[in-house]
């Protein structure tokens, strides 16, 4: 039987990709007690990095939101891998951090971050409501437009 989270992903037309392997000297996830920490995820899609550049210069607000949404899909893929395929173990989303590569005159980081926040809430329902930081940065790895990390409470 399909669980409610998998059903919601299907309703949204989303298929979680295989969790990406780390690209450097770190682990993609770490469980400590009842918390699952997920390392920063880039907007990687089937063809690789999907949104590059800086908001306010090369990337539109809409593209930035889509990039953040894709980062959230990748956060969920990492969570699924860490939880042995069982996303129903997520009891709460504690915090999401969203980093936005942007020009100095871009001030809509919070709107970009909504792409990730909205997706997590859509998929996880009440367990997807979270605290958040949306931070503008000069650049991100591989010239990605957005990166997101998360902390989940698990059971």
112: containing domain: 32-154
Structural domain contains residue 42: yes
Structural domain contains residue 6: no
* pLDDT category of residue 1 using cuts at 50, 70 and 90: very low
Average pLDDT score, the chain:
96
Structural domain contains residue 103: yes
State the first-to-last Cα distance of the chain, in angstroms, to the nearest integer.
20
pLDDT in tens, 106-154: 999 999 999 999 999 999 999 999 999 999 999 999 999 999 999 999 9
Structural domain contains residue 15: no
Structural domain contains residue 7: no
Structural domain contains residue 25: no
Instruction: Give the CATH number for residue 91.
Output: 3.30.1330.40
Q: How many domains does the chain have?
A: 1
Q: What DSSP string describes 36-74?
A: EEEEEE--EETTEE--BS-BTTTB-HHHHHHHHHHHHHH
Q: What is the 3-state secondary structure (H, E, C) of 135-151?
A: EEECCCHHHECEEEEEE
Give the pTM: 0.96
Query: With contact defined as beta carbons under 8 Å apart, do 63 and 145 qualify?
Result: yes
């Amino acid at each position: 039987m399909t669980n409610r989270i998998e059903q919601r992903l299907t309703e949204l037309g989303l298929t979680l990709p295989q969790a990406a392997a780390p690209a450097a000297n770190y682990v993609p996830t770490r469980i400590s007690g009842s918390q699952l920490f997920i390392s920063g995820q880039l907007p990687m899609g089937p063809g690789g990095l999907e949104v590059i550049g800086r908001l306010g210069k090369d990337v539109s607000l809409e593209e930035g939101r889509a990039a953040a949404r894709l980062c959230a899909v990748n956060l969920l893929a990492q969570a699924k891998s860490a939880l042995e395929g069982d996303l129903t173990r997520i009891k709460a989303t504690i915090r999401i951090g969203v980093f936005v590569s942007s020009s100095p005159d871009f001030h809509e980081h919070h709107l970009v971050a909504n792409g990730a926040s909205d997706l997590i809430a859509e998929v996880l329902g009440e367990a997807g409501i979270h605290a958040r930081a949306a931070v503008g940065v000069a650049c991100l790895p591989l010239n990605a437009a957005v990166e997101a990390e998360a902390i989940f409470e698990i059971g």
